[in-house]
A and B are shown apart, each in its own frame.
Chain A
């Protein structure tokens, strides 16, 4: 089993809707989690990090971590066309910040 799994999508939502992106992980990835956004033809950029169970909010973005169920999610409220990108979930194995990435999910926000 790959250590970090993402539904490959793509995911399409209308402008203004909530986009929900999900990620599951194996026991080897259990410390902290990160969401990277990658626009087409660009490099990934970090948008959210979460270490503790529960929710973490930053503007229109909310990261959720449930360690008992081994999933992490990213909610994007009031989705905008500019949110259209590939979102990569990554977990820190705890071994000095070596990240394991999921395959990514492509989000398309329809105007």
Chain B
């Protein structure tokens, strides 16, 4: 039973436009959520996180939105740049990050010039 799901394996966006990556979770005990970015032949790199006490967290071009009632979070990248092309993983944890992370399958984002 997959507790964190990223239903879109891939997404293609024009450079300069907004990229929206989605993630759904089923475990209501999750209260801390993270996005990681992964380039080929490299390990995942932490991008941004959000606690369940917030519904939005922003860091430069990256914003994460959390909808607790829908058990859904999304990552917005605006404007999208070619260097944003990578695989993005959503992850969730309980106890405000003290518990183990559970990862989604990832979404491959391609930014077209």
Whether chains A and B associate is: no
Q: Which residues of A contact B (CB under 8 A)?
A: none
